[in-house]
Amino acid sequence: MASSASGTLELLADNDILVSEQQIRMEDIAAQYRRGPLTPFAIDRNTFLQLGVGDALPQPVGANTNWERGFVPLHAADPDPVRLYALNGTIGTTPSQPSFTWKLTVPKPVDVYAGEDILYGAVIAQHNNASQVSSVIAGRDIIRPQIAFLGEGALWVEAGRNLTFVAGEGILSRGGIMSTGNVLVANFGEARKGTDIDTPNLALPDKGGDINMIAGTAGGADYAGFADLYLDPRNASDPAFPLSYPANAGKVVRTYEKELGEFLKGLSYEDRPASERRALFAALPSSPSRRSCRKCCSPS
């Protein structure tokens, strides 16, 4: 797909989304480096895009242009993720290629959902600020996933039954600049600019984000019930007595209102009174709310 600051992709199906062995890719090229009929370019042996003819592009493609991406993320002001929804079916490859890998590479968050399975998917997303969340959710199984996201924020991966990897594969979070810093991931068989060396995206901070994985949720998880119990300081037990003590009935060892405050600050909410925090949490979309519950019940 051609590069555009407001461009997006939405595939919505009642049943299956089946892709042949190929890549769905959204280009990440800043406006000043895009080619068109008024901006000359040349193709060398159909393998290497040589931008500019003569002096048409004074700056060569390289670190000084962030490899055409510029130094502000193209989708920095774009609130919409790329969406692939198979409401009652599976996202995978065509029946003639059942075990091949389909690929989705986009310079913005993704929201991938299948009511049944997600099979053999290689998904690369990009978070352009620290509050962004990508999600890959299947009502049944996620089989052989390869999922990566660049930048900060978080990735939520959820399978109603099983989350199954094969040896040597898994889930990766990489910052924009590393020793082999890149916007594409080498073990997905990707290479940029016709070389074997991946290039850093200098528009992103050298930071990674959070990864949350959960399986076996087909019966549902009571996130709201957890929040009501563990995010309300009134439910903290008296530490002088055991939980079995009558005055501690229905109480918990500790509550997590402090962690909730830090989590909300990470979503760009400034300091809010404790009385407002739970209401803010309840109003969040489902993925951030789930992530907060997971973070709250993790060890400090």
**Containing domain of residue 119, as a range?**
10-215
| pLDDT (tens digit per residue) in 215-234 | 999 988 788 888 889 999 99
- Asked if the structure places residue 2 within a domain, the reply is no
- Mean pLDDT rounded to a whole number for the chain: 79
The total of structural domains in the chain comes to: 2
Domain stop point among 179, 194, 215: 215
Kindly state whether residues 37 and 126 are assigned to the same domain.
yes
Kindly state whether residues 209 and 234 are assigned to the same domain.
no
Q: Which residue has the higher pLDDT, 115 or 299?
A: 115
Kindly state whether residues 156 and 262 are assigned to the same domain.
no
- Asked if the structure places residue 4 within a domain, the reply is no
Q: Which residue has the higher pLDDT, 195 or 251?
A: 251
Q: What is the pLDDT of residue 289?
A: 65
Predicted TM-score (pTM) of this structure: 0.73
Q: Which residue has the higher pLDDT, 7 or 32?
A: 7
Determine the Cα angle at 39 with ends 33 and 43, to 5°: 85
Residue 55's pLDDT band (cuts 50, 70, 90): very low
If you average pLDDT over residues 264-280, what whole number do you get? 80
Residue 67's pLDDT band (cuts 50, 70, 90): confident
DSSP 174-228: E-S-STT--SS-GGGT--STTSSS----TTS-S---EEEEEE--TT---HHHHHH
Interacting residues of 238 by C-beta distance below 8 A, sequence separation 6+: 245, 247, 248, 251
Q: What is the pLDDT of residue 215?
A: 93
Kindly state whether residues 75 and 146 are assigned to the same domain.
yes
Kindly state whether residues 67 and 103 are assigned to the same domain.
yes
Q: What tokens appear for 45 in the block?
A: 């042996």
Kindly state whether residues 211 and 161 are assigned to the same domain.
yes
Q: What is the pLDDT of residue 41?
A: 57
Kindly state whether residues 227 and 208 are assigned to the same domain.
no
Kindly state whether residues 201 and 232 are assigned to the same domain.
no
Distance CA 34, CA 136 (A): 31
Kindly state whether residues 210 and 231 are assigned to the same domain.
no
The strand pairing partners of 44, in sequence order, are 48
